[in-house]
Amino acid sequence: MIERNPEVPDHFLVLERKETFGDYARAYGNALAEHHESHGVIVVPFMPIECDLDFLQSISFPPEWKKIGTANGIEESIYERDGASLRVRQDHPFIQLDMGVEQACYLQSQIASFNAQLRRGLSVLFPAYHSLKEANITWRLTETIEEGMHLDTFGGGQPLGPQYKVLNRVKIFLNIDSEPRRWRTSFDLPAVLSRCQDELPMELPDDVNVVNDVIDKFGVLKSLPYHSLSYPTMSAVISNAEAVCHEVVYGRRVVGGEFWCHRDDMLDPKKLTHDLLRHWLEEDEYAIGDARTIAQRYADMKGSYALIQEARAAQAS
């Protein structure tokens, strides 16, 4: 269910339910990639992934595991070979849960199978993205309440290396909880730069990660109008989360997949966010500054109105 706000562009593409990824591909072809590259939000009403849903819905992770994923080894085997015998890996995250070896092994196998189907499914949904590569698949089996409207950042908002500035980001959030997951979405990055110009520094860098971090810290997204979205069990949303403002309002269990493809695989490589940022900044008459200097300048800022005004006054003088 979507409650659309007329003050925000309608950026949703809601698919008709299909029973296989192949059915989606035949019905939509490259339409999903086209919508994604235009900063759209794709709503998939059913993700055809086989899993023991009852079991997965019985699992909750501790709060400190909010974004634990494949990068943390959750997909790796519980066992390792020691000569002629096998032994339990005591450093495996699921052994730390103290759920017993059998349950831990079953959870690991369920996650590994689910992730394999998700990887394959995304490759079918985005057939042109031949270089599609996984960055991380997180299993967020913790309750989230009103996390705040934001644009995604990485590594504490530090500048991106050149190897990342040629990548188009695809992010999927698949609800595996018994209750609908509630979201809000708002404007895309260029619209935020334009609408919030009077509340942001007049000097920003040609670096999406640093710009998004500054936007988040200045708190300018809190007052933006938004759409409301509620998506049920085994449905998903797909978007470029570094280019579309979003917020989880409520949810308990979701699988978050973060993938990248090279710019050359995009239907329209000219739409790469990293290449367009300088144009967006210049169009709204921002000064282009050094990314590392600006990241350091606002490293400790927490969205304080006084700090924001002080920073703007210092730049104006």
264-285 pLDDT tens trace: 999 999 999 999 999 999 999 9
| pLDDT of 52 higher than 50 | yes
pLDDT at 82: 84
- CB of 295 closer than 8 Å to CB of 153: no
pLDDT at 312: 55
| Residue 171 backbone dihedrals phi, psi, to 5 degrees | -125, 135
| pLDDT of 232 higher than 90 | yes
- On average, the pLDDT of the chain sits at 93
- Torsion over CA of 56, 60, 61 and 66, rounded to 10 degrees? 90
Distance CA(214)–CA(40), nearest Å, equals: 23
Element (H, E) at 191: helix 189-195
- Torsion over CA of 196, 201, 203 and 207, rounded to 10 degrees? -70
- CB of 190 closer than 8 Å to CB of 244: no
Q: Predicted confidence band at 84 (pLDDT cuts at 50, 70, 90)?
A: confident
pLDDT at 81: 85
Query: Both ends of the chain: CA-CA distance in Å?
Result: 49
pLDDT at 238: 98
| pLDDT of 73 higher than 60 | yes
Q: Predicted confidence band at 1 (pLDDT cuts at 50, 70, 90)?
A: confident
- CB of 44 closer than 8 Å to CB of 237: yes
Q: Domain boundaries in the chain?
A: 11-316
CA atoms within 13 A on the CB side of 2: 20
Q: Which residue has the higher pLDDT, 211 or 80?
A: 211
| pLDDT of 93 higher than 80 | yes
Q: Predicted confidence band at 85 (pLDDT cuts at 50, 70, 90)?
A: confident
pLDDT at 301: 73
Q: What residues contact residue 161 under an 8 Å CB cut-off, 6+ apart?
A: none
Closest CA to 25 of 128, 149, 142: 128
Amino acid symbol at 147: E
- CB of 267 closer than 8 Å to CB of 34: yes
Amino acid symbol at 66: K
Closest CA to 45 of 2, 22, 14: 14
| pLDDT of 303 higher than 80 | no
Strand order in the sheet with 181-188: 2-3, 227-231, 181-188, 244-251, 144-145
| pLDDT of 305 higher than 50 | no
Q: Tokens 């730049």 — which residue?
A: 315
Helix, coil or strand: residue 12: strand
- Structure pTM? 0.91
Q: Predicted confidence band at 199 (pLDDT cuts at 50, 70, 90)?
A: very high
CA atoms within 13 A on the CB side of 54: 0
Q: Predicted confidence band at 156 (pLDDT cuts at 50, 70, 90)?
A: confident
